[in-house]
Each structure stands twice: as C-alpha cells, then as structure tokens.
Amino acid sequence: MLLALAPPLAGTALRPAAAALHPNFAERLFGALQRQPDQEVVRWPTGRAGASPTSLSGAALLARVLAWQQALEAAGPLPLGTPVLLAHPSSPELVAALLAILGLGAVPVLPPAGASLSTLYHLLKTERSGLAVVAPGLQRRLGWLGRLVGCRCVAAPAVASYDDWPAARPGTLATPQLRAVRPEQPALVSHSSGSVSGRPTAVRRSHRVLQAQHEALRTQFPPWAGQRDFPLFPNVILHNLAVGVLSIVPDLPGGHLAQLDP
C-alpha cells in the first residue's frame, strides 16, 4: 500500500533544501571573485622603499589564475591530488598560482618562509613532487637543475601591469577550471612559522577542513562591506577571498613573523 506524505501544517513555511557545497574549496574562491570582479581583493607590498603596493582586482586575479592553469596543463598531465611545489617568490603571482593548482584538483605545497634551495629540494623529495611553479626568470635559470632532480619547472608568462583588467564587462571574465575532488583529499600543505617549536612543521588541510574553517570564521566573524584584513597565513588569504575581504599583505622581509613590529 502506498503511503501519502502528510501535508505541511497550515502557516508553516517549507525550508528550501540547502545547496550542496562543491567538494573543491576553490569553487568558493572563484565564485566570490566572479561576483565582484571590479573589487580590489589583494594588496601586496613591493619590498621597495617608497614604492606603492601592487593591487589586484577580482577580474585581474581570475585572469592570472587561468594563465597559470594553462601553463600547468601545457607542462603535461596533472592527475588529481598531484603535489605541486610553490617555489615562486612572494607576490600576487604566488596567490594566483596557488588558486590555479587548487582549482585543477592538485595540491599546492607552500614552503616555509625564506626557504633555501636545499629546503625546496627536501620538500620535493618529502612530498614526492615532480612539479614546481616558479617565476619566468627562475624557470630559465633552474630548468636544468629541475631536470637533474626529476622536477618540471612551470611558469606563466609575466605581465607588465595588473591594470590591464579594468572594469569587467559581462562575458569577459576569465573562467578558471574547477575539478571535482574527494572532500578528504589534501587541498593545501603549508608550514607553521616555527615560533613555538623553533622549526617550521608541515600543516596539511583537506578540502573538507578548509570548508569547515571557512564556515567557522564566517559565522564567528561575519564580514562587512569595505572590510580590510592583514593576513599572516595563506589559509586566511583564502578565507578573505571567499568572503570578499581585502587582504593587505604585511611587508615582512622573507615572510618571517619575527620581522613584525607590533
């Protein structure tokens, strides 16, 4: 016998089903950038005295993410879960490369601040990575070294200015690739500052963990229009991008927290 579903009580509104989250955390980032393409999302110090910081809009960052994805795919197959070493100097391009790797379902590996060549080599072996993203100039200089250690060095073509993406028009925004992943797949490997133990240690976060951290921060600290933040860690930059908060990266030589003057 078929059982009919009981009708809703009078005056009781039916709640819409919650939208399922895309398993890849990059979906939140790309979606936020596409919704506010003209908004400044990252401001990065140049490291030169008296020089103005570099500023990126959502549209500019999306375009650079797509450029990095194209460079990565041109280098060869990139299976899901492939670790990719971020050996690029600290700059907005580092953020773009990180998002590109994340969107492709690979795993960005951020070295400790101020990592030496020997540290990078150790990370390649520890993470079993055969791929590293670098600046175009480093690609030319380190290409031979990469081949010696079994690592492909990938670089996206450089841009003279991020102002090439003014007010975005409908249909002109770059659309980076977004691959589905398992929620428990690693999404980011970063390193602690070492301020407590004296030695940086690897911190691994899955897509599920990044989603949970993002939700916790968004709930406890709801963003507001025009909000600015001074992130010290990469996962905080990701959170800011996902909620539309401007990240003003502190000018710390080498990225060392010990250089921070409170």
Q: What is the mean pLDDT of residues 207-214?
A: 94
> Which comes out higher in pLDDT, residue 207 or 231?
207
> Would strands 131-133 and 152-154 be described as parallel, antiparallel, or unpaired?
parallel
Do residues 20 and 5 make contact, with C-beta atoms less than 8 angstroms apart?
no
Tens of pLDDT along 142-184?
666 667 677 889 999 998 888 766 555 656 788 999 999 999 9
Chain-centroid distance of CA 207 in Å reads 12
* Overall fold of domain 26-159+178-253: Rossmann fold (3.40.50)
Supply the angle between the helices 26-35 and 92-103 in degrees, to the nearest 10: 120
Query: 72: Cβ–Cβ under 8 A, 6 or more apart, which residues?
Result: 78, 84, 100, 101, 104, 106, 131, 133, 154
pLDDT band of 232, cuts 50, 70, 90 = confident
Asked if the model's pLDDT at residue 261 lies above 60, the reply is: no
Which pLDDT score is estimated for 78? 95
Tens of pLDDT along 189-203?
998 766 666 677 889
Which pLDDT score is estimated for 30? 97
Q: How far is 251 from 260, CA to CA, in rounded Å?
A: 8
Which pLDDT score is estimated for 16? 41
Which pLDDT score is estimated for 11? 45
Q: Sign of the C-alpha dihedral, residues 134, 137, 139, 143?
A: negative
Chain-centroid distance of CA 91 in Å reads 12
Q: What is the mean pLDDT of residues 232-253?
A: 88
Tens of pLDDT along 113-136?
888 888 888 888 889 888 999 998
Name the E strands within the chain.
40-44, 54-57, 83-86, 107-109, 131-133, 152-154, 186-191, 202-206, 228-229, 246-248
Closest by CA to 232, choosing from 114, 113, 117, is 113
**Tokens 């540290």 appear where?**
119
Give one DSSP letter per residue of 105-161, joined into a string. T-EEEPPPTT--HHHHHHHHHHTT--EEE--HHHHHHHHHHHHHTT-EEE-PPP-S-
For the chain, what is the mean pLDDT?
83
Tens of pLDDT along 8-18?
444 444 444 44
Q: How far is 90 from 33, CA to CA, in rounded Å?
A: 21
> Would strands 40-44 and 54-57 be described as parallel, antiparallel, or unpaired?
antiparallel
pLDDT band of 80, cuts 50, 70, 90 = very high
Residue 30: burial class (beta carbons within 10 Å; 0-12, 13-18, 19+): buried
pLDDT band of 46, cuts 50, 70, 90 = confident
Residue 79: burial class (beta carbons within 10 Å; 0-12, 13-18, 19+): exposed
pTM attached to this predicted model:
0.84
> Which comes out higher in pLDDT, residue 41 or 13?
41
> Which comes out higher in pLDDT, residue 138 or 27?
27
Which pLDDT score is estimated for 228? 92
Closest by CA to 229, choosing from 219, 214, 220, 241, is 241
